[in-house]
Amino acid sequence: MADVITLGARQDATLYENVAGMAASGAGTGMFVGKIARGGLIRRSLISFDVAGSIPAGSTITRVELTLSVTRSAGSSLNIGLHRLLAGWGEGASDAGAPAGGGGVTPESGDATWIHRFFGGAAWSNPGGDFVGAASATRGFGGVGTYTYASSAGSVADVQAWLNTPGANYGWLLKGPETQNGNARRIATHEEPIAALRPRLLIEYTPIPAPAACAPLLWLVALRRRR
């Protein structure tokens, strides 16, 4: 029988396009995706969940649904893809403020930025983040409201991999088409004061049966062999 668990985000942050990597908001209540109107600068978001700390090792993941809440919206509908990240990153103490925050503030130690995985330390191999090019799932986002990504083969495979290899669980990068200025979305982070707006990840999984649950089946197999 499958079990279901809902996880809150472990960490989240915004990557603000900035050639020097001097903008961040690791502790802000909002993260941004899309392109802002001023200068057409790109915004991407990072998010991760503690899968292995919440689901028994060896379980099989069968369904994954990510729910996000848009708290500010601009422009037409925006398709946002979930791209599996390939490197670790930090959530520092910088806070661009609310309700805006689309420009970021000066990074603090350990913040993820456009250039840095950890400000003051490791850099991305590619500015804007190191991630798989193909999206694991995609969802259209309109105005202010709550949106859920339907379970997909890609998102299920990602979460299964994070359960099997916790050390490679870097989460997802949220990315739009990045072709149109002025269509950015502000999405509530795990620091959002209203709990119902915070990111959440529903995971359905089938755990490995306990030894006691397998005993009747083993007994039946042994009996058939004797016959």
Residues 69-126: pLDDT tens digits? 999 999 889 999 999 999 999 999 999 987 767 899 999 999 999 999 999 999 999 9
The predicted pLDDT at position 114 comes to 99
The predicted pLDDT at position 221 comes to 44
CB proximity list for 92: less than 8 A, separation 6 or greater: 13, 24, 26, 27, 107, 108, 109, 110, 111, 112, 119
The answer to whether the beta carbons of residues 71 and 186 sit under 8 Å apart is yes
- Give kind and range of the element (H or E) at residue 219: helix 211-226
The answer to whether the beta carbons of residues 107 and 24 sit under 8 Å apart is yes
- 98 Cα distance to chain centroid: 21
- What is the pairing mode between strands 145-148 and 11-16? unpaired
The answer to whether the beta carbons of residues 29 and 189 sit under 8 Å apart is yes
Compute how many other C-beta atoms are within 10 angstroms of the C-beta atom of residue 29: 22
Q: How far apart are the first and last CA of the chain?
A: 31
Residues of the chain scoring pLDDT < 70: 100, 211-227
The predicted pLDDT at position 46 comes to 99
